[in-house]
Amino acid sequence: MSSNYLDSYGPLLLMFILAAFTAGALITVSALVGRHKPTREKDTPYECGVQPTGDARHPFSVHFYMVALIFILFDIEAIFLYPWALVYHDLKVFGFVEMLLYIMVLLVGYIYLWKKGALDWDK
């Protein structure tokens, strides 16, 4: 490897060293200067101004996670429509049929989830 290749990483290394030094210095100054008097009020969890009630380890329903995963799944699938829209003019009929099949698969999946009750909040 030539010295020019390694020299191009010098500024990057300098940035990492400077960032590590700054982070360490801020943590050290905070530990030395800051007040550390724990009180009951400081040790309670902050819940957007609402006093916490009950056990913090209360389990969530699996339905909550299922809806979140379904949302992420359909959101990511919707992202694939953007690149297709950019090249739609070049793909012509093939691109239209291809995306029509893609949307049909999404629609079948959505109907399946709907029939299974995965989107029903009244359970």
Give SS3 for 50.
Answer: strand
List, for residues 28-53, the tens digit of each pLDDT value: 999 999 888 888 877 777 766 666 67
Q: Which one has a higher pLDDT value, 17 or 60?
A: 17
Instruction: Take residue 69 and report the two structure tokens written for it.
Output: 């995963």
**Interval 90-99 mean pLDDT:** 90
Amino acid letter, 69 = L
Q: Identify the DSSP state of 8.
A: T
| Mean of pLDDT values over 77-82 | 86
pLDDT at residue 123 greater than cutoff 70: no
Q: What is the DSSP letter of 24?
A: H
pTM of the model: 0.48
All structural domains of the chain with their residue ranges: 3-116
pLDDT tops 60 at residue 108:
yes
Residue 32 or residue 63, greater confidence: 32
Q: Considering only CA atoms, which of 67, 69, 106, 110 is closest in space to residue 84?
A: 106
CATH of 3-116, one of 1.20.58, 1.50.10, 1.10.287, 1.10.3470: 1.20.58
Q: What is the three-class DSSP state of 47? A: strand
**Residue 54 predicted with pLDDT over 90:** no
